[in-house]
Chains A and B, each alone.
Chain A
Amino acid sequence: GAVVSQHPSWVICKSGTSVKIECRSLDFQATTMFWYRQFPKQSLMLMATSNEGSKATYEQGVEKDKFLINHASLTLSTLTVTSAHPEDSSFYICSARDNGQALTDYGYTFGSGTRLTVV
């Protein structure tokens, strides 16, 4: 089945530094990947849609200069949290849709998430 690998699973960084999170589709190609942020005991908030070979589409209220997204290949998207601050601490999850799936096979595969703590 479709597998999405997200790395690292957790990271602690100092305030002011940058952190990169990787999202890889292991056995399928994904033109589009999605990045979500989840606060404790809350739902997933879509941050941006990552498009292979083009700029990401950010949701309203998400700072594109703080959350840099790169989707350089059909199997890899990265989210870089720049100049991280404690308020950026959260659980970040990516998901991807298999290009090869028929619409009736539609399903989004999620990574296992990254717990970011900024100290």
Chain B
Amino acid sequence: AQSVTQPDIHITVSEGASLELRCNYSYGATPYLFWYVQSPGQGLQLLLKYFSGDTLVQGIKGFEAEFKRSQSSFNLRKPSVHWSDAAEYFCAVGVLGGSEKLVFGKGTKLTVNP
């Protein structure tokens, strides 16, 4: 069965520091991978997605992610974190065929210290 693991429940970084959020997936075929961000009490906003091609994907708000098939990983990175980046981040894999639903990881809460 498809699954997504986000090993870090909570990460704290200082403003201006670099960030990496980890995501590992389990999927039997070529995965469609997504990163979403959620602010408290809000829906999810798409940061970036990967389907094929270049394994380094650029997204909004200065985020990028790298797909590594050998490690079954799709880690999210940002070179310099801003206080407004504090939020919950979810990694998801798209399940093809049928309804093509998303399977989410449990999320990583990011706290940014001034």
Which of B20-28, B61-69, B93-101 has 4 or more CB atoms under 8 Å from chain A?
Answer: B93-101
Query: For this complex, into which size category does the number of interface residues on chain A fall?
Result: 20 to 34
Q: Which residues of B contact A (CB under 8 A)?
A: 32, 34, 36, 41-46, 49, 51-52, 90, 94, 99-107, 109
CB-CB < 8 A to B109: which residues of A? 41
CB-CB < 8 A to A67: which residues of B? none
Where chain A touches its partner, the secondary structure class is strand
- Alpha-carbon distance between A108 and B43 when the two chains are bound, in angstroms: 12
User: In angstroms, how far is the closest chain B Cβ from the Cβ of A88?
Assistant: 18
Assess whether A46 is in contact with B101, with CB atoms less than 8 Å apart.
Answer: yes
CB-CB < 8 A to B46: which residues of A? 107-109
User: In angstroms, how far is the closest chain B Cβ from the Cβ of A55?
Assistant: 12
Whether A46 touches B102, Cβ cut-off 8 Å, given contacts A110-B43, A110-B44, is yes
Assess whether A106 is in contact with B102, with CB atoms less than 8 Å apart.
Answer: no
- Alpha-carbon distance between A70 and B44 when the two chains are bound, in angstroms: 22
